[in-house]
């Protein structure tokens, strides 16, 4: 079964936690998509770990500059912060770290109402091939707090982003029980699922 493991709020505010996370992923040969909050990259250690994550083959995507809902921003404010975070993402996403975009885009597609996940994956692959003619890089965005409005959607469409949510999330910031989260995500996962955990 193939699923996409996505990790929000990366890198962890505590650089030591992020280092431990990267060590675990490397130990088990797991590649993930990190949704980056650029405002978390505050120290030289954070910057070094971002380079390490890229060299380890992980994929970076846009999660804005701060971990707060973006629905209150004006169009210009949202576009500016989106571009600010993307600049950081592009800085660290080394070309040799980019995964196969067909697989990545297929795994990250949101489940559309009334459609099988397998159909969603095929749709996304077709969409990705078309977009690559204009932009070879597939740009992903996940709205902070999973809140998105029409203004945000309009900007994302203009800048050719794919907005990504998830269909398996265990509320990990609120529940301090690793075994519960592992069991819950395992039970929820289906072929093509997007699993969401946080890096803190």
Q: What is the DSSP-derived secondary structure letter of residue 38?
A: G
- Identify the helix (H) or strand (E) that includes residue 178: helix 178-188
Residues 6+ apart with CB under 8 A from 88: 36, 38, 41
In this prediction, residues 47-69 reach a mean pLDDT of: 96
pLDDT tens figures, 12-44: 999 999 999 999 999 999 999 999 999 999 999
pLDDT tens figures, 128-175: 445 444 555 679 999 999 999 999 999 999 999 999 999 999 988 888
C-alpha closest to that of 138 among 103, 174, 91 = 103
| pTM listed for this prediction | 0.80
Cα 116 from Cα 185, distance rounded (Å): 19
What is the token pair recorded at 84? Answer: 């600010």
pLDDT tens figures, 70-114: 999 999 999 999 999 999 999 998 644 444 443 444 444 444 434
Considering only residues 136 and 54, tell me which one the structure prediction assigns the higher pLDDT: 54
Q: Helix-strand-coil percent breakdown of the chain, rounded to 5? A: 50, 15, 35
In this prediction, residues 6-12 reach a mean pLDDT of: 96
Place of tokens 């571009």: 83
In this prediction, residues 47-51 reach a mean pLDDT of: 95
- Residue 120's alpha-carbon distances to 14, 47, 110, 117, in angstroms, are 36, 35, 8, 5
- Grouping H, G, I as helix, E, B as strand and the rest as coil, residue 60 is strand
Predicted local distance difference test score (pLDDT) of residue 31: 97
Predicted local distance difference test score (pLDDT) of residue 136: 53
């Amino acid at each position: 079964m193939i699923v996409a493991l996505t990790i929000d709020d990366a890198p962890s505010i505590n650089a030591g936690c992020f280092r431990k996370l990267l060590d675990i992923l490397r130990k088990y040969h797991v590649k993930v998509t990190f949704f980056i909050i650029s405002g978390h990259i505050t120290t030289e250690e954070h910057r070094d770990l971002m380079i390490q994550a890229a060299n380890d083959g992980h994929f970076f995507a846009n999660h804005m500059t701060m971990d707060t809902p973006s629905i209150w921003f004006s169009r210009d404010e949202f576009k500016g912060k989106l571009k600010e975070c993307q600049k950081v993402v592009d800085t660290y996403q080394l070309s040799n770290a980019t995964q196969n975009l067909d697989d990545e885009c297929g795994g990250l597609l949101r489940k559309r109402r009334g459609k099988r996940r397998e159909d969603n994956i095929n749709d996304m692959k077709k969409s990705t091939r078309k977009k690559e003619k204009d932009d070879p890089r597939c740009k992903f965005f996940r709205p902070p707090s999973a809140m998105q409005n029409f203004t945000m959607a309009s900007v994302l469409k203009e800048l050719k982003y794919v907005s990504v949510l998830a269909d398996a999330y265990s509320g990990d910031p609120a529940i301090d029980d690793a075994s519960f989260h592992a069991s819950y995500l395992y039970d929820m996962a289906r072929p093509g699922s997007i699993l969401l955990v946080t890096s803190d």
